[in-house]
C-alpha cells in the first residue's frame, strides 16, 4: 500500500504466534543474559518473581509480525519509535498477535516521494495482556503526482 | 549501584563489540526478514542502497552492552524507552560501543524502595556514526531509609 492508501484510524491484525521457552532462553543468552530471562529457576528470586522474556525479544518478535501484517509498499523502514512500553512481561509459551492502528500521517516539503505514517502497535497475549505497545514512524512511498 | 549512587550527568562507556555479517543475516532471518537485511546483493536495489542490520538487531546488541556497562544493582529492568531512533544504519562488520549518560532521576511516592533513572544511550560505530539513540527508563533499587 502507498501513502495515499492509508487513513488515520485504519486497523491491522497479525496472525497468532507462539513464543517458546527455547526461543526466550536463546534470545536472552545472546542479547540480554540476566537471570530473570535466562534461568526459569533463578528468575523466581528476582524483580519479576517468574521467568520472563527480554523486552527486546518482545520487540523482535513484534517486528517479525509487523513485516507480515503491515502492507507497506517496498517494506517496513522505520524512522524511529516513540513510547516503547512493556506494560506486562511476555512469558515463555505465550501466543501473541499484533493489533495495529494508523494514528498520524504526514508528508515532507523536501521529499515529495515519501510520507510518514505513525502506527500504534500493541502486542497482545492470548489472555489479553498487552506485553508491548509502541508508536513506530514508518516511511511509506507516495503515489507519483 | 543503588539509586543514591547515581547523579544526573554521570557517564558510562561500554567495551567495543563487532557485529558480524553472519550475525546480521541470522537476526534478520529470524525477526526482520526483509531483503535489505537478509540479502547483501538484493539490498543494493532497496531504500538503503546497501546491506544494513535491522534496527531491532541494533537494539538487541545495545541491550547486550547495557547489561555489561550500566552497573545497576539487581540488574537492568526497563520501564520503557522514549525516542528510539536510528540516525544511520548499522552495517555488517561495524565495531560498536555505547556512550550512556544519566539525564533524569525521580522517585515514587507510592514505592519508596525503587527509583527511576533515565539514561540517554548512544550506540556509536568505529567511524563515529550514531547507529542508535534512545532514552530508557530503568528501575533502580534505593538504599534503605
Q: What is the pLDDT of residue B88?
A: 96
Q: What is the pLDDT of residue A95?
A: 98
Q: What is the pLDDT of residue B29?
A: 98
* Confidence at B17, pLDDT banded by 50, 70, 90: very high
CA distances from B18 to A100, B50, B59, B95, B96 (A): 34, 19, 14, 4, 6
Question: Rounded to whole angstroms, how far apart are CA atoms A24 and A93?
Answer: 9
Q: What is the pLDDT of residue A145?
A: 64
* Confidence at B145, pLDDT banded by 50, 70, 90: low
Cα A91 to chain center, whole Å? 16
- Chain A residue closest to B76 (CA)? A34
Q: Of A86, A81, A78, A80, give the one whose Cα is nearest residue A53.
A: A86
> What secondary structure letter does DSSP report for A143?
P
Interface of A with B in 90-109 (CB under 8 A): none
The CATH code of the domain at B3-141 is: 3.10.129.10
Question: Rounded to whole angstroms, how far apart are CA atoms B108 and B106?
Answer: 7
pTM assigned to the model: 0.96
- Name the helix (H) or strand (E) containing B69: helix B55-69
Number of C-beta neighbours around residue B125 at 10 A: 19
Is A89's Cβ below 8 Å from some Cβ in B?
Answer: no
Q: What are A96's three cell numbers?
A: 501473541
> What residue ranges do the domains of chain B occupy?
3-141
CA dihedral over A19, A23, A27, A28, signed as positive or negative: positive
- Name the helix (H) or strand (E) containing B48: none
Is A38's Cβ below 8 Å from some Cβ in B?
Answer: no
Low-confidence ranges of chain A (pLDDT < 70): 145
Angle between helices B55-69 and B21-31 (to 10 degrees): 110
Q: Is A78 in contact with B55 (Cβ distance < 8 A)?
A: yes
Query: Does the pLDDT value for residue B144 go beyond 90?
Result: no
SS3 breakdown of chain B: % helix, strand, coil, rounded to 5?
Answer: 25, 35, 40
ipTM, interface predicted TM-score of the complex: 0.95
Q: What is the pLDDT of residues B19-44, one digit of tens each?
A: 999 999 999 999 999 999 999 999 99
Tell me which of B19, B27, B29, B30 to substitute to probe the interface with A (most A C-beta atoms closer than 10 Å).
B30
Amino acid at each position: 500500500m502507498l501513502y495515499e492508501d492509508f487513513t488515520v484510524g485504519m486497523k491491522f491484525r497479525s496472525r497468532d504466534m507462539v513464543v517458546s521457552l527455547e526461543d526466550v532462553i536463546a534470545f536472552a543468552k545472546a542479547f540480554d543474559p540476566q537471570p530473570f530471562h535466562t534461568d526459569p529457576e533463578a528468575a523466581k528470586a528476582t524483580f519479576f518473581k517468574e521467568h520472563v522474556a527480554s523486552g527486546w525479544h518482545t520487540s523482535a518478535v513484534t517486528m517479525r509480525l509487523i513485516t507480515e501484517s503491515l502492507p507497506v509498499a517496498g517494506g517496513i523502514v522505520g524512522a524511529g519509535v516513540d513510547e516503547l512500553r512493556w506494560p506486562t512481561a511476555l512469558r515463555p509459551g505465550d501466543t501473541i498477535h499484533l493489533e495495529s492502528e494508523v494514528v498520524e500521517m504526514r508528508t515532507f516539503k523536501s521529499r515529495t516521494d515519501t510520507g510518514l505514517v505513525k502506527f500504534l502497535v500493541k502486542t497482545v497475549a492470548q489472555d489479553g495482556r498487552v506485553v508491548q505497545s509502541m508508536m513506530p514512524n514508518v516511511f511509506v512511498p507516495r503515489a507519483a503526482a
